[in-house]
Amino acid sequence: MTLLWLNSLLAVGGFYLLIGTNRIIWFWSGFFIGLFWFYWISLSFIYYDLALLIPLIILCVALCYGLLFWIIGRFGYTAFVQAFMFFSLSYIAPFGFNWFKPELILLKTYFSTDTLYFALFLGGIALFKTLPKYYKIMGVGLVLISIPLHTSSVNQPLLPVSIPAMHIEQSKRWDKAYQHDAIMLNFSLIENAIAKGDILIILPESAFPLYLNLEKELILQLKEYSKKIAIVAGSLTYENEKFYNSSYLFTKGEMHIAHKVVLVPFGEEVPFPDFIVTFINRIFFDGAQDYQKAKEPQDFTIEGMRFRSAICFEATTDLLYQGKPKQMIAISNNAWFTPSIEPTLQHLLLELYARKYHTVIYHSANSGISGIILP
């Protein structure tokens, strides 16, 4: 149950207590936001046998956001400057990681998360804190203006879609002993969707834990299924001695592949110069290569309808929404970070982007929150 009035009051109170304060308060606010908002980043290191690094990773992330907030407190000489600098954090992505969106706090409130409305909201808070006595009403007015009078509505998609809930542990996902069971589970889900009369089934990222483009018999079976139902599923691709994280579409007996465009920092690529990347991969990842990526977003066409293809992290980046696609198929594997708040945070970010670009998102997540997200 979501209490919009309570969330709205807490959001106003939180921003009011922060904006206009000194650098010490800003630092510790950023430190604990980094700690509690992003502690889960470290959990994936368990699967690289680097669990000892977890406390260090958590501390580094907390200090990174503490430093960003300290800069606001140190150089934001007025509440208005602080509000502007805080607003700018939406456009700052340390090492390419962009999941800190201050406006996300307003998502489950009466206030709008649109850029202009969020700026008015922060401006209203700054005015209220700085203007004397009765002039504070001007700040209240700006905050109230950031409550939209009308909300756009989108009709439920007409396409009958099956998005099965899957909860496969990461420790099993890439275990070769489990590979056959994973394939049989996928076949079972496809057959159930066909029996229900669905036109499309969406399986999550890494649903097929192998290099699918090299599995000729498996491809033939999926092509055969696709004569009865369109299938989107995540898998890896190996071609020209390069590795890709890909989304596969099987429809009408044909196969189409869309490679990931935006890779996860430190998960799929190391965001440093090549000589540093080679060193880090050799020391921490047994010499593994970074994944390769496509040059631009790609679309799938299903039953005459176009869907932007997105894989996990990239579904929460502006690049994937170029051209404002009306519909998107996003697939994720959240098992890397469960149990944690990561699946909830991802779902909220997808809601934010769905609203921002008026895109209907079909999201299939292993160990995450699956479903259809409307703007």
Domain coordinates of the chain in residue numbers?
4-145, 161-373
What band does 193 get if pLDDT is binned at 50, 70 and 90? very high
Decide if 348 contacts 105 (C-beta within 8 A).
Answer: no
Q: What span, in angstroms and rounded, lies between the C-alpha atoms of 156 and 280?
A: 46
Catalytic site includes residue 260: yes
Q: What span, in angstroms and rounded, lies between the C-alpha atoms of 174 and 145?
A: 51
Question: Token pair for residue 19?
Answer: 């904006």
209-228 CB burial, b ≥16 within 10 A, e <16: bbebbeeeebeeebbebbeb
Q: Which amino acid is at 32?
A: F
pLDDT in the model for residue 184: 97
Catalytic site includes residue 64: no
Q: What span, in angstroms and rounded, lies between the C-alpha atoms of 285 and 287?
A: 5
* Mean pLDDT (whole number) for 260-279: 70
Q: Among 3.40.50.300, 3.60.110.10, 3.40.50.1100, 3.40.50.920, what is the CATH number of 161-373?
A: 3.60.110.10
pLDDT, tens digit (0-9, with 9 covering 90-100), for 313-337? 999 999 999 999 999 999 999 999 9
Residue 272 has pLDDT above 80, yes or no: no
> Mean pLDDT across the chain, nearest whole number?
91
Q: What span, in angstroms and rounded, lies between the C-alpha atoms of 149 and 252?
A: 45
pLDDT in the model for residue 50: 82
Q: Which of 64, 101, 260, 342 is catalytic?
A: 260
Decide if 335 contacts 318 (C-beta within 8 A).
Answer: no
* Secondary structure tally for the chain: helices H, strands E: 11, 11
Residue 210 has pLDDT above 70, yes or no: yes
pLDDT in the model for residue 287: 46
Helix 79-88 and helix 54-75, axial crossing angle in degrees, nearest 10: 140
pLDDT, tens digit (0-9, with 9 covering 90-100), for 285-318? 554 566 789 999 999 999 999 999 999 999 999 9
Range from 150-159, 168-177, 277-286 that averages highest in pLDDT: 168-177
Residue 79 has pLDDT above 50, yes or no: yes
Distances (CA, A) of 297 to 188, 235, 239, 313: 31, 17, 19, 13
Give the number of residues written for the chain. 375
Provide CB contacts within 8 A for 50, sequence distance 6+: 284
Q: Which of 64, 101, 129, 312 is catalytic?
A: 312
Q: Which of 64, 101, 129, 205 is catalytic?
A: 205
